């Protein structure tokens, strides 16, 4: 697809947010993040889900990654630096992503609902009585669905880079990343090393189709009809310089999730929890306490 100046600019900004350096520590390894981070797999809903775990605090927190992400690629600073006495962190790889393969990733119309069910059932399998959620991008959408569908199980929720519906502007951004051969080698190579080129290209292409199918729904809804069902205290964080998710998405979530808080980070982009990890971690910890 030929990109004009504006499209190419958006594509460069978007690709800059993808996180290189995917590496998963083995179970029991402490070296990867400078603290005790274990990795394991467990069978949930007929698939083997990979997760990492750190800390032994009373407050369980599930970390939900974005598109093509994994716990390791998306949440290194949180696994390393969150208060391990207060919190137990679990960073998962949704089915078909990271090391939760097989199965291959697919995108039926209910894939966010499926991910939410898998996420909750994973934490129940790990015997957590109640959990809080930290959801980024697609993981933020999954967190919204989980909070709405399982209100008695979700304690608190922090989301950023998420949207409850798809607009024409969003669709243009998604189309800009469909062809991974146009990604820079620096961005593509780490993901290609994890997935292989064919799987990476196919999955990205299918993700674009998967997210665009919501455009057919009334008002482009992904989960906007579920927002009034969210009961847990919710913190919405938005980077004012996020090139992927316009401010109106954060405002909409804030308006439609009762009692939610909106925190703006003036210099934050889509990956604000990585670029400004110290600030984000303190913000999230203070909210979760």
pLDDT tens digits, one per residue of 208-263: 999 999 999 999 999 999 999 999 999 999 999 998 899 999 999 999 999 999 99
> CA-based angle 76:78:83, to the nearest 5?
140
- Count of CB atoms situated within 10 Å of the CB of 41: 14
Confidence of residue 190 (pLDDT cuts 50, 70, 90): confident
CATH code for position 275: 3.40.50.1820
List 70, 115, 242, 260, catalytic entry: 242
Structural domains in the chain (count):
1
- Cβ neighbours of residue 23 closer than 8 Å, sequence gap 6 or more: 32, 72
Confidence of residue 183 (pLDDT cuts 50, 70, 90): confident
Among candidates 119, 114, 106, 113, which has minimal Cα distance to 145?
113
List 50, 238, 270, 273, catalytic entry: 270
Active site residue 254: no
Domain membership of residue 79 (yes or no) is yes
Active site residue 137: yes
Can you give the residue range of the structural domain that contains 163? 5-44+67-119+148-288
Domain membership of residue 55 (yes or no) is no
Domain membership of residue 165 (yes or no) is yes
Q: Please, which residues bridge with residue 136 across strands?
A: 160
List 73, 137, 260, 273, catalytic entry: 137
- Cβ neighbours of residue 135 closer than 8 Å, sequence gap 6 or more: 63, 64, 141, 142, 143, 144, 157, 158, 159, 160, 162
Domain membership of residue 77 (yes or no) is yes
Residue whose token pair is 């409850």: 164
> CA-based angle 95:166:134, to the nearest 5?
45
Q: What is the pLDDT of residues 13-67, one digit of tens each?
A: 454 444 433 333 333 333 333 358 999 999 999 999 999 999 999 999 999 999 9
| pLDDT at site 14 | 52
> What is the Cα–Cα distance from 84 to 89, expressed in whole angstroms?
8
Active site residue 93: no
Domain membership of residue 125 (yes or no) is no
| pLDDT at site 165 | 98
Domain membership of residue 136 (yes or no) is no
Domain membership of residue 90 (yes or no) is yes
Domain membership of residue 97 (yes or no) is yes
Q: What is the pLDDT of residues 96-154, one digit of tens each?
A: 999 999 999 999 999 999 999 999 999 999 999 999 999 999 999 999 999 999 999 99
């Amino acid at each position: 697809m030929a990109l004009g100046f504006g499209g190419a600019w958006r594509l460069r900004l978007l690709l800059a947010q993808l996180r290189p350096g995917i590496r998963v520590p083995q179970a029991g390894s402490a070296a990867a993040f400078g603290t005790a981070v274990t990795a394991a797999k467990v069978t949930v809903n007929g698939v083997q889900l990979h997760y990492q775990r750190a800390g032994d605090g009373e407050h369980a927190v599930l970390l939900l990654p974005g598109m093509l992400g994994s716990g390791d690629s998306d949440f290194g600073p949180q696994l390393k630096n969150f208060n391990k006495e207060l919190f137990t962190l679990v960073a998962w790889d949704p089915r078909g992503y990271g090391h939760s393969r097989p199965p291959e990733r697919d995108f039926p119309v209910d894939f966010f609902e499926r991910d939410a069910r898998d996420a909750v059932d994973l934490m129940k399998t790990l015997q957590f009585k109640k959990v809080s959620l930290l959801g980024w991008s697609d993981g933020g959408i999954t967190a919204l669905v989980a909070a709405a569908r399982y209100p008695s199980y979700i304690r608190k929720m922090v989301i950023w880079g998420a949207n409850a519906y798809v607009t024409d502007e969003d669709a243009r951004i998604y189309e800009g990343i469909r062809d991974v051969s146009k990604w820079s080698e620096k961005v593509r190579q780490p993901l290609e090393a994890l997935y292989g080129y064919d799987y990476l290209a196919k999955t990205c292409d299918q993700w674009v189709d998967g997210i665009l199918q919501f455009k057919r729904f009334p008002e482009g809804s992904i989960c906007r009809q579920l927002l009034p069902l969210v009961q847990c205290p919710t913190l919405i964080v938005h980077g004012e310089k996020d090139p992927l998710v316009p401010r109106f998405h954060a405002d909409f979530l804030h308006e439609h999730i009762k009692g939610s808080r909106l925190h703006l980070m003036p210099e934050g982009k889509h990956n604000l929890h990585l670029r400004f990890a110290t600030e984000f971690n303190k913000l999230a910890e203070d909210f979760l306490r």
